[in-house]
C-alpha cells in the first residue's frame, strides 16, 4: 500500500479544486510511477481522497469511503520474458572425401590450376582435358621421389619426346584421398608444370561455366 501524503491548509483547499498547477501534475506523475512499480498482484487504482478538514490523501488502497475518487488504473508491472537462446549456426565443415565437388577458378593466363599431391609432395597441377594421362616434369618427379621404371615415347604438341613411366604413384587433388595411378615423366616440359589429364579426370563430370571449372563426382 502506498500512502504518500500531500496536506493542504483549509485556507487553500478551494484552490485544489481549480486548475491543476504544474507542481500538482508532477505529484500525480510521481505517484503514478510508485503505483506502477509497487509489484501488486493485480492492477492498481490510484485514488484521491479529501477528508472533512480539506486534507488530500493519495492512495492505491481500495477506497470504501466517501470523498475518494479514482484517478486512473495502472496495469501490473510486466513480467520479464526471457527469450530462448538462439542456436548459433555451426560453420559448415569443409568437404572432404570422394563425394565432394571441386570448383576451380580460371587463372589469369586462361588455364585452370588445382593444388594436389604426388606421393605426399605438394604439387600444382594444370588441368589438361586434352592430355590422356598424368604427366610430371622431371623436377616434380625427383622432388616426389618418383622414378620411371620403363622408357616410353610421348607425343606432345611440340613433337615426340622420350620419357619414362612410373607405376602405382599416389595422386590426390584438393581434399580427396590419394589414389595410385600410372604417371608419365616428361623431362622436356617446364619444371613447374605437371599435367592432370584424363586418366584422373575421367572419375569426374567436368563442366566449365564462365571462369569456373567444376569437377563433380
- Do residues 86 and 61 lie in contact, with contact meaning Cβ atoms separated by under 8 Å? no
pTM of structure: 0.54
- Do residues 165 and 149 lie in contact, with contact meaning Cβ atoms separated by under 8 Å? yes
Q: Which three cell numbers stand for residue 18?
A: 481549480
Write the DSSP string, 100-125. Answer: --EEEEBPTTS-BEEEEEETTEEEEE
- At 2 the pLDDT is 44
Q: How many CA atoms lie within 13 A of 198 on its CB side?
A: 4
- At 217 the pLDDT is 84
Q: Which three cell numbers stand for residue 27?
A: 505529484
CB burial of residue 169 (10 Å; 0-12, 13-18, 19+)? buried
Q: Which three cell numbers stand for residue 209?
A: 561455366
- Helix (H) / strand (E) element for 15: namely helix 13-16
- At 91 the pLDDT is 45
Q: Which three cell numbers stand for residue 31?
A: 505517484
Distance CA 69, CA 47 (A): 5
- At 113 the pLDDT is 95
- At 197 the pLDDT is 94
Closest CA to 213 of 110, 98, 97: 110
- At 54 the pLDDT is 75
The CB density around residue 81, as the number of other CB atoms within 10 Å, is 5
Indicate the pairing of strand 212-216 with strand 205-209.
antiparallel
- Helix (H) / strand (E) element for 152: namely strand 150-156
Only one residue has cell 560453420, namely 91
Give the DSSP letter of residue 157: T
- Do residues 129 and 140 lie in contact, with contact meaning Cβ atoms separated by under 8 Å? no
Closest CA to 118 of 166, 178, 165, 51: 178
Per-residue pLDDT of the chain (217 residues; tens, 9 = 90+): 444 444 444 444 444 434 444 445 444 444 444 444 444 434 467 777 777 777 777 777 655 556 777 766 554 545 555 666 666 555 444 555 566 789 999 999 999 999 999 999 999 999 999 889 999 999 999 999 999 988 888 877 677 888 899 999 999 998 889 999 999 999 888 877 899 999 999 999 999 999 999 999 8
- Do residues 143 and 136 lie in contact, with contact meaning Cβ atoms separated by under 8 Å? no
Distance CA 6, CA 93 (A): 70
Amino acid at each position: 500500500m502506498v500512502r504518500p501524503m500531500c496536506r493542504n491548509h483549509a485556507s487553500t483547499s478551494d484552490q485544489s479544486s481549480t486548475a491543476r498547477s504544474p507542481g500538482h501534475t508532477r505529484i500525480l506523475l510521481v505517484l503514478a510511477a510508485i503505483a506502477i512499480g509497487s509489484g501488486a498482484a493485480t492492477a492498481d487504482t490510484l485514488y484521491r481522497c479529501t477528508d472533512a478538514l480539506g486534507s488530500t490523501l493519495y492512495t492505491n488502497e481500495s477506497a470504501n469511503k466517501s470523498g475518494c475518487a479514482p484517478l486512473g488504473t495502472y496495469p501490473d508491472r510486466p513480467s520479464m520474458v526471457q527469450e530462448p537462446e538462439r542456436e548459433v549456426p555451426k560453420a559448415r565443415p569443409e568437404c572432404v572425401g570422394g563425394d565432394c565437388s571441386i570448383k576451380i577458378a580460371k587463372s589469369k593466363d586462361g588455364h585452370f590450376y588445382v593444388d594436389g599431391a604426388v606421393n605426399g609432395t605438394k604439387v600444382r597441377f594444370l588441368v589438361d582435358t586434352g592430355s590422356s594421362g598424368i604427366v610430371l616434369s622431371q623436377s616434380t618427379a625427383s622432388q616426389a621421389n618418383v622414378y620411371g621404371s620403363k622408357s616410353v615415347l610421348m607425343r606432345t604438341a611440340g613433337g615426340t619426346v622420350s620419357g619414362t613411366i612410373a607405376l602405382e604413384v599416389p595422386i590426390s587433388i584438393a581434399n580427396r584421398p590419394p589414389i595410385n595411378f600410372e604417371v608419365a615423366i616428361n623431362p622436356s616440359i617446364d619444371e613447374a608444370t605437371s599435367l592432370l589429364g584424363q586418366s584422373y579426370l575421367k572419375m569426374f563430370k567436368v563442366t566449365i561455366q564462365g571462369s569456373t571449372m567444376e569437377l563433380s563426382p
